[in-house]
Amino acid sequence: MSLVQSVDNVALLPAYLAAGTAVLVLLADLVVARAGVTWAVAAGGAAGTAVGAALVGAGETRRTFCVGADCSWLYDDRAALVGALFALLTLGVLAISGPLLRAGGTPVGEYCFLLACSLTGGVVLGAAGDLITLIVALETLTLPLYVLVGLRRGSVAGAQAAVTFFVVSVVATTLTLLGAALLYAVTGGLHLGRLGALFGERPELLDLPLTTAAVALVVLGLAFKVAAVPFHAWAPATYDGAPLPVAAYLSTASKLGGVVALLAVTGLALPATVTGPVLAVLAVLTMTVGNLVALRQRRTVRLLAWSSVAQAGYILAPLGALALAAGRTDEARAGAYAAAVAYTVFFVLLELAAFAAVVALRPAGADGGTLDELRGAARRHPWVGGALALALVGLAGLPPGLAGLFAKVTVVRSLLDGGAGWLALVVAVNAVVGLAYYLRFAAVLWAPGAGPAPARPARTVLAALAVTTAVAVLVGFAPQVVLDLAAR
């Protein structure tokens, strides 16, 4: 075997672009030292990464860092989708960070650099072909967030949130790493494709208790990252303590990262007979507990945080169909993964719109506050209030939020195609519980009552809100675009 490898640099281009953005931001902050320029470099880099990811993905699948048939870097259509999505989410979060950065108290250079680092992790994550690359990418995605959560000077809540997040996340990573090590001990392989093939060829491996322990550790460690119940307790405290745009990033990009990692290991590497039941239980617990607790929330960001816990349950639900034999045919599996990806895309879009609208309705640099502080907000800012209501209704899965409706439909359909009618009913009943609090939130916006004097929202925030809402409306009328992207 030759020790000299040819490296396909084109396949790596999106990762170069993302990492280059981080470096450029650091340089711009050092050399020019003007907040606007630093921000513009970060935004431009994120946009460039999105374009690069899409362009490279438009060609055929590219592989590099291969040992024999197993490759550590697999840039296929889904990797392109994930990379582009991460870049666009980062761009959106940068746009809604405007008021926070201008309010002072947050160092602009560090803020943009850390976001760009996180973006790099996300881009690599989508293309990871082995467990180690996957875990390192996921950590590159999360590590900067520990700092971002606590970056505001003199914010005790932020520091507490950061520590909670840090401790929980490190424990989760350790669990995943241990699982990966045990898997290596059992099979001698770490490449996702190879693991899957090995388990297929030698089913006797599945009878080893060590295999079950290893698989469980990997899945549970990743469940922390998507904040699935019972590994969710960090999420509400962290979201609420973090600055609003960082909370938005956590509940969209960071969650997307966890989902992508889970899909990669369950889709390619791990045996569905073991992961299926675990995921089904996780999904049911996650959506039910998330929805029930969200009912009682009075703080805006906590409500969104718990609702996003519940949404993680809907994302995992299609994978729960793997628990049954009917859900493990190739067709049903492909459908389940496509449904999970499609739901995630719809969800991050609506969640980003909701956070952007909350940022627009709150004073510059403020946290989410309580629901009462948004009382009557839609009467003062009809368009922004309308966009927020549309996003909330979409998250609840009802018209006129057609994007969210089609997301729910996709999940229910894939569950019934996989023969998991009971899980579809659980999803359906949860959607009803979910409506109760989304409706309460939306109704508060039009409730009569005095609120703070209207301030004009920042232009970048409005732009981000307008673009996400427009895209959400568009994919609401043409959901096939998302379904096609997700099914590739």
Question: How far is residue 14's CA from residue 157's CA, in Å, rounded to a whole number?
Answer: 35
Q: Which DSSP letter does residue 76 get?
A: -
Q: Smallest distance, Å, CB 246 to another protein? A: 31
User: Which is closer to another protein, CB of 102 or CB of 413?
Assistant: 413
What are the structure tokens assigned to 191, written together? 């490449």
Q: Smallest distance, Å, CB 197 to another protein? A: 29
Could you tell me how many residues make up the chain? Answer: 488
Are the C-beta atoms of residues 310 and 284 closer than 8 Å to each other? no
User: Which is closer to another protein, CB of 242 or CB of 424?
Assistant: 424
Q: Which DSSP letter does residue 128 get?
A: B
Q: Smallest distance, Å, CB 256 to another protein? A: 21
User: Which is closer to another protein, CB of 167 or CB of 422?
Assistant: 422
Are the C-beta atoms of residues 349 and 248 closer than 8 Å to each other? no
> Where do runs of H (alpha helix) occur along 362-401?
377-380, 382-396
Q: Smallest distance, Å, CB 281 to another protein? A: 20
User: Which is closer to another protein, CB of 108 or CB of 378?
Assistant: 378
User: Which is closer to another protein, CB of 30 or CB of 443?
Assistant: 443
Are the C-beta atoms of residues 278 and 130 closer than 8 Å to each other? no
Contact residues toward another protein (CB under 8 A) are: 393, 398-400, 405-406, 408-410, 412-413, 416-417, 421, 424-425, 428-429, 431-432, 435-436, 439-440, 443, 446-448, 478-480, 483-484, 487
Question: How far is residue 51's CA from residue 53's CA, in Å, rounded to a whole number?
Answer: 5
Q: Smallest distance, Å, CB 371 to another protein? A: 14
Are the C-beta atoms of residues 239 and 250 closer than 8 Å to each other? yes
Q: Smallest distance, Å, CB 479 to another protein? A: 5
Question: How far is residue 455's CA from residue 451's CA, in Å, rounded to a whole number?
Answer: 11
Are the C-beta atoms of residues 38 and 112 closer than 8 Å to each other? yes
User: Which is closer to another protein, CB of 270 or CB of 483?
Assistant: 483
Are the C-beta atoms of residues 90 and 144 closer than 8 Å to each other? no
User: Which is closer to another protein, CB of 391 or CB of 393?
Assistant: 393
Question: How far is residue 246's CA from residue 248's CA, in Å, rounded to a whole number?
Answer: 5
The distance from CA 394 to its chain's CA centroid, rounded to whole angstroms, is: 17
Q: Smallest distance, Å, CB 184 to another protein? A: 38
Question: How far is residue 244's CA from residue 299's CA, in Å, rounded to a whole number?
Answer: 13
Q: Smallest distance, Å, CB 59 to another protein? A: 24
Burial class (CB in 10 A: 0-12, 13-18, 19+), 273: middle
Characterise 397 by phi-psi region: left (phi > 0), alpha (psi -120 to 50), beta (else).
Answer: left
Are the C-beta atoms of residues 419 and 410 closer than 8 Å to each other? no
Q: Smallest distance, Å, CB 76 to another protein? A: 20
Other beta carbons within 10 angstroms of residue 358's beta carbon come to 28
Q: Smallest distance, Å, CB 403 to another protein? A: 12
User: Which is closer to another protein, CB of 198 or CB of 411?
Assistant: 411
Question: How far is residue 358's CA from residue 14's CA, in Å, rounded to a whole number?
Answer: 31
Q: Smallest distance, Å, CB 477 to another protein? A: 9
User: Which is closer to another protein, CB of 315 or CB of 321?
Assistant: 321
Which amino acid would we find at residue 99? Answer: P
Are the C-beta atoms of residues 345 and 437 closer than 8 Å to each other? no
Q: Does residue 230 have a cis peptide bond before it, meaning omega lies within 30 degrees of 0?
A: yes
User: Which is closer to another protein, CB of 37 or CB of 487?
Assistant: 487
Helix (H, G, I), strand (E, B) or coil at 66: strand
Q: Smallest distance, Å, CB 305 to another protein? A: 23
What are the structure tokens assigned to 302, written together? 């906590």
Question: How far is residue 145's CA from residue 135's CA, in Å, rounded to a whole number?
Answer: 16
Furthest CA-CA distance within the chain: 75
User: Which is closer to another protein, CB of 167 or CB of 443?
Assistant: 443
User: Which is closer to another protein, CB of 33 or CB of 436?
Assistant: 436
